[in-house]
Each structure stands twice: as C-alpha cells, then as structure tokens.
Amino acid sequence: MDAISALAGGMLIGLAATLLLWLNGRVAGVSGILGGLLSGTRGDRGWRAAFLVGLVAASAPYLALAPAAPDLRSDFSRLGLVVAGLLVGFGARMGNGCTSGHGVCGLGRLSRRSFAAVLTFLLAAIATTFVVRHLMGVA
C-alpha cells in the first residue's frame, strides 16, 4: 500500500513537471522557482508565486484531512533544522537544482549534469544520515 501510494504520488509529480514544461516551457524545480522569486525580475515572479501557492494549497488539505496522511514529525532538534535549512538553500542554488529540478526533471531529460548531481546529493545525504543518526545519536 505504501509502495503504491509512493509510486502514484511520484507519477503525479512527474505529470506536474510535464504540464509546466508543456504549457510554460519551465523546469519544475522547487528551489529554482523559489530562488527566482527571491532574486528574479518583476515580470518573472507571477508564475513562480502561482506555482508555490498551488504546491502549498494542494498539499495542505490532503495532509490535514486524509486518514492515510502521516502525522508530521515535530520533535527534531531546532538547531539541526536551521543548519539543515541553511545548507539545503545554499547548496541547491549553488548546484542549480534540488531533488525536483535535477531529480525529477533532469533525469527525464537524460541530462548528464543532473545524473551527476543526483548521485552526489544522494551519497552525501546517505553518509550524513549515517553520521547524524549513528555516530552523533540524533534521532
């Protein structure tokens, strides 16, 4: 059941990315869209804001109402969250993409850069999770 909802959710994400490319010619990379909203030019901000509003507005009722929706974790170290947020924001902009831009869209275009980025951030994340959970003992 979990595998089916994970696969179905993933296909919806892929369809969302296809829709944005087909209609607007844009890559559905969340960090790129958000980063462009922070730094971009005025005429370029409307569609970025609309995408992000849609993302938040559609996930909220599902997470709030669906019986199958997970209870979100709420007890992780605050310092850990801040450090993680800083690194994720900085790294995603520096590497020109995150899980959605390089992962969902880049792999679909068979981009060599995106393959390299996905491999790098997966390995870095796996190593980090090991260190944080098993060597530092943070759950």
The reply to whether 67 sits near another protein by the rule CB under 8 A is no
Binding residues among 99-128 for another protein as defined by CB under 8 A: 99-100, 102-105, 107-110, 112-113, 116-118, 120-128
Return the residue of 57, 67, 135, 137 that touches another protein, per CB under 8 A. 57
Q: Which long-range contacts (CB under 8 A, 24 or more apart) does 48-57 make?
A: 51/20, 55/30
Contact indicator for 97, 120 with CB cutoff of 8 Å: no
Q: Identify residue 47 by its one-letter amino acid code.
A: W
Q: In the chain, how long is the greatest CA-to-CA distance?
A: 48
**Closest distance of CB 114 from another protein, Å:** 9
**Closest distance of CB 48 from another protein, Å:** 7
